[in-house]
Structure 1
Amino acid sequence: MTNRRTNRFGRLSGMLRKAVAVAAALGLAGTLAACGSSNDADSSANGLKKVTFMLSWAPDTNHIGVYVAKNKGYFKDAGLDVDIVAVAQAGAEQAVNNGAADFALSNMTNTADYSVKGAKIKQVMQVQQKPSAIWCALASNTEIKSPKDLDGKTFATFGSNESDAVVRRMIQFDGGKGEFDKVTAGTNTFQTLSSGKADFGGFYATWEGVQADMYGPKLNCFTEPDYGVPGNADSIGIITSDKTIKNDPELVKKFVQASQKGYEYAYSNPDDAAKILVKEAPDANLKEDFVKKSMHVIVDGQYWGDPAKIKSGEFVLGTNDFVETQKYFDFLSEAHTYTDSKGNTVDTTPQAKDVATNEFLGK
Structure 2
Amino acid sequence: MSIFRWITRGAGLVALACALPAAAQSPAKIRFMLDWKIQGVHAWFYWARDKGYFKDENLDVAIDQGDGSAAAVTRVMSGGYQAGVGDVNAIIQNAASKPGEAPVMVYMIYNQAPFALITKADGPIKTLKDVEGKTLGSPAGAAALKVFTALARRNGIDEKKVSWTNMAPNLQEQMLLRGQVDASAVFAATSYMNLVAQHVDPDKDIRWIFYNDNGLDLYSNGVLVSPKLLAEQPRAVGGLVKAVNRAMKECIAAADACIDNLARNEPLIDKSIEKRRMLYVLKHSILTSEVAEIGLGDVRDERMARAIDQIADSYGLPRKPSVGEVFNRSFLPPKAERAAKLPL
Q: Given the two structures, how large is their TM-score scaled by the length of structure 1?
A: 0.73
SS of residue paired to 2:189: coil
Instruction: Give 1:213 shift.
Output: 3.1
Provide the residue aligned with 1:262 in structure 2: 247
What SS does the aligned partner of 2:111 have? coil
Report the Cα distance in structure 2 between the residues aligned to 1:308 and 1:319, rounded to whole angstroms: 8
Equivalence map 1:206-221=2 (5 Å) = 206-217=189-200, 218-221=205-208
Counterpart residue identity of residue 124, structure 1: V
| 1:121 to 1:135, Cα distance in 2 relative to 1, 3 A | same
For residue 121 of structure 2, what is the aligned residue in structure 1?
A: 139
| Aligned with 2:56 (options 77, 99, 116) | 77
Q: Percent identity, please.
A: 21
Q: Aligned-residue CA RMSD in angstroms?
A: 2.9
Residue correspondence of structure 1 range 25-36 to structure 2 within 5 A = none
Alignment check: 8 A CA contact 1:65 1:262 kept: yes
**Alpha-carbon distance in structure 2 between the residues aligned to 1:210 and 1:306:** 23
Q: Counterpart amino acid of 1:108?
A: V
The CA distance in 2 between the partners of 1:153 and 1:169, in whole Å, is 19
The equivalent residue for 1:280 is 265
Alignment of 1:313-328 (within 5 A): 314-328=293-307
Aligned AA for 1:123?
M
SS at match of 1:301: helix
Bigger radius of gyration: 2
Q: Size of the alignment, in residue pairs?
A: 299
Q: What is the alpha-carbon distance in structure 2 between the residues aligned to residue 265 and residue 276 of structure 1? A: 12
Q: SS where residue 106 of structure 2 aligns?
A: strand
Structure 1 gap segments, 5+ residues each: 1-42, 339-345
Residue of structure 2 in register with 1:342 after alignment: none
For the structure 1 residues 88 and 135, does the alpha-carbon distance in structure 2 shift closer, same or farther, using more than 3 Å as the test?
closer
Partner-residue secondary structure (3-state), 2:236? helix
TM-score, normalised via structure 2 length: 0.76
Q: In structure 2, what is the equivalent of residue 294 of structure 1?
A: 277
Unaligned runs of 5+ in 2: 1-21, 335-344
Partners of 1:88 and 1:294 in 2: CA distance: 18
Q: Does 1:110 align with 2:90?
A: yes
Q: Secondary structure at the match of 1:251?
A: helix
2:224 corresponds to which of 229, 233, 239: 239
AA matched with 2:275 = K
In structure 2, the residue matched to 1:14 is none
For 2:223 and 2:73, the matched residues in 1 are separated by 10
**Distance of 1:213 and 1:150 partners within structure 2:** 25
Does the aligned pair in 2 maintain the 1:109–1:325 contact within 8 Å? no
